[in-house]
Amino acid sequence: MKTPIYFLSLLALVAILQSCATRKVERIGTEEVIDLSGRWNDTDSRMVAEAMVEQILDAQWLLNFQEKHDGKRPVVIVGLVYNKSHEHIEAETFIKDVERAFINSGKVRLVQAGDKREELRRERAAQQEFASPETVKAWGKELGADFILNGDISSIVDTYKNERVNYYQVNLELTDIETSEIVWIGEKKIRKYIKN
């Protein structure tokens, strides 16, 4: 009777020791490409944003705008990018990557969108009451956007046995806010082959 109890105790001890095994975590460069799952990741977000902003800024709409407005840089607002894919994709991360690429280009001016713009307006309203007259920021000085960029991220998954292809397509369109004219449409595609 003692042997089974001893054996079970030994198994329990081994299980406890294995669960206490140390896990190694190391810092790596944010530019290093690591794709563990084959799903959309930070590298995809950054690469697609940079490629699409390059497409946007190389398109004819920018030259047309600058010719019409004496070389002035257009004011752009990045609106909503909808996630229509099969997985959870944090669209806000992609939007920030797009905004960063726009600002780094120096070819357009960028204004805040949505909730952040409302937060700025609340701050400006609070300043009217609480800030000193010398430092209060005036109403009616916001830059009006000339264009808004919107889009979506879609995906298709194809699987067979232990193979899978994840296909992502990002569609963006730039629209003239005053006329509602779509001045640019672009897409970027990514295919990932995963074999287990």
Establish if 69 belongs to a structural domain: yes
Give me the pLDDT at residue 112, please.
92
pLDDT of 1 above 60: no
Give me the pLDDT at residue 23, please.
76
Establish if 137 belongs to a structural domain: yes
Establish if 20 belongs to a structural domain: no
Establish if 129 belongs to a structural domain: yes
Q: What are phi and psi of 83, to 5 degrees?
A: -90, 105
Establish if 86 belongs to a structural domain: yes
pLDDT of 3 above 70: no
Q: Give the SS3 label for residue 186.
A: strand
DSSP letters of 94-123?
HHHHHHHHHHHHTSSEEE--HHHHHHHHHH
Q: What are phi and psi of 84, to 5 degrees?
A: -110, 20
Q: In this predicted model, what pLDDT tens digit does every residue of 157-179 receive, in sequence order? A: 999 999 999 999 999 999 999 99
Establish if 116 belongs to a structural domain: yes
DSSP letters of 48-63?
HHHHHHHHHHHSHHHH
Give me the pLDDT at residue 63, please.
95
DSSP code of residue 90: -
Instruction: Give yes or no for a contact between 60 and 66, defined as CB atoms under 8 angstroms apart.
Output: no
Spatial separation of the C-alpha atoms in residues 171 and 153, rounded to whole Å:
7
Give me the pLDDT at residue 42, please.
83
Q: Residue 67 sits in which domain range?
A: 40-195
Tokens 């830059």 correspond to 143
Establish if 14 belongs to a structural domain: no
Token digits for 123?
């701050």
Q: Which helix (H) or strand (E) holds 184?
A: strand 182-195
Give me the pLDDT at residue 122, please.
93
Establish if 35 belongs to a structural domain: no
**pTM, 2 dp:** 0.79
Q: Give the SS3 label for residue 133.
A: coil
Spatial separation of the C-alpha atoms in residues 149 and 77, rounded to whole Å:
6
Token digits for 106?
């120096």
Number of domains in the chain: 1
Spatial separation of the C-alpha atoms in residues 71 and 161, rounded to whole Å:
57
pLDDT of 22 above 90: no
Given pLDDT bands bounded at 50, 70 and 90, which one contains residue 6? confident
Spatial separation of the C-alpha atoms in residues 42 and 29, rounded to whole Å:
12
Q: In this predicted model, what pLDDT tens digit does every residue of 176-186 receive, in sequence order? A: 999 999 999 99
CATH of the domain at 181: 3.40.50
Give me the pLDDT at residue 10, please.
73
Spatial separation of the C-alpha atoms in residues 28 and 34, rounded to whole Å:
10
